[in-house]
Amino acid sequence: MTNILNKKTLDEKLIKKLEVSNPMALPKFKKITINAGVGKFIKDKNMLEVVRETLTQVSGQKPVETKARKSIAGFKVREGNVVGYMATLRGKRMYDFLARLVNVTLPRVRDFRGIPLSSVDREGNLSIGIKEHSVFPEVDQEKVHNIHGLQLTITVDANSRDEAIELYRAIGIPFAKKEL
């Protein structure tokens, strides 16, 4: 774990906040799934390569192709076509990515006012959509021609939604303040 995600201090914060006596009962991060759909670029082979390369840079590992399960004429998609790319991060890569997300990427998002609490589901998993892939520091700004989005899903092992939200707050994920 990195400095901001120091396991000992994170556990101490959560034990006080959640009033849990056993550190093994604390919520933990399982994985981060990064997904990039190709959408309107489905016919452009160069753009498919750009999206794959971007996801490789952002995740630090080779992404897996996501293929269409069935044909949909309205979207001009045939069964077996590549419709996106996906990478799953676990362990050290996951914690490094979380640190970069909280400290570098989210502050670079234009007009960012925090992540809405509605982005956390009942199990405590957090889903974030990023409209511009160029906010990631790993992406070379000179090579950016077409902007595409990325979807992040942070999966946790928590007993409740509230425990997961406290875990996210403990590592510094900014949530939007409620409007009055």
Where b means 16+ CB within 10 Å and e means fewer, 22-55 reads: eeeebbebebbbbbbbbeeebeeeebbebbbebb
Give 149-163 pLDDT, tens digit per residue.
Answer: 889 999 999 888 988
Give 45-76 pLDDT, tens digit per residue.
Answer: 777 787 888 888 888 899 998 887 777 777 77
DSSP-derived letter for residue 116 is -
Q: Where are the domains of the chain?
A: 7-171
Cα distance between residue 152 and residue 172, in whole Å: 16
Q: Give SS3 for 128.
A: strand
pLDDT score, position 136: 78
Average of per-residue pLDDT across 28-54:
81
Give 80-139 pLDDT, tens digit per residue.
Answer: 777 788 999 998 899 888 888 888 888 878 888 888 888 889 998 999 888 877 777 777
pLDDT score, position 141: 66
Does 1 score more than 60 pLDDT?
no
Q: How confident is the model at residue 180 (pLDDT cuts 50, 70, 90)?
A: very low
Does 2 score more than 80 pLDDT?
no
The one-letter code for the residue type at 4 is: I
Does the domain spanning 7-171 belong to CATH 3.30.1440.10? yes
Reference 119, options 167, 153, 158, 156; nearest CA is: 153
